Amino acid sequence: MQKASLAEKLALISEYWSPKIVGEINDSYVKLVKLKGEFVWHSHENEDELFLVIRGRLVIKLRDKDVVLNEGEMFIVPKGVEHMPVADEEVHALLLEPKTTLNTGNVRNERTVNAEWI
């Protein structure tokens, strides 16, 4: 058991849309990520996904509405819901999601990555 500084861990992340694992709780990973620009439309068939904005403003586009998250706000995307995160400026976020969650969900492309520990 040890504490983690989110600021120190975020300073180690240099690329966008590439979540890094900073902890685990039960069957889930706690991940940090830097976001900028548009991601891809995708869904996670079996996993809910929590987004908590640490810095910046994140828009999570859903097919029927946009969810705007400011610093200190969170949103849980339910499993099976198609979504696309968008960050006009750099965003720092914490993700909480099952260990089986692939960042691009049901889509496999050049943005698909396997999260690594930092």
pLDDT digits (tens, 9 = 90+) for 73-85: 999 999 999 999 9
Among 37, 80, 36, which residue's Cα sits nearest to residue 55?
Answer: 36
Sign of CA dihedral 95, 100, 106, 107: positive
What's the whole-model pTM score? 0.90
Segments in the chain below pLDDT 70? 102-111
For position 66, what pLDDT does the model report? 98
Q: Residue count of the chain, please give it.
A: 118
Structural domains in the chain, sorted by start: 6-117 (2.60.120.10)
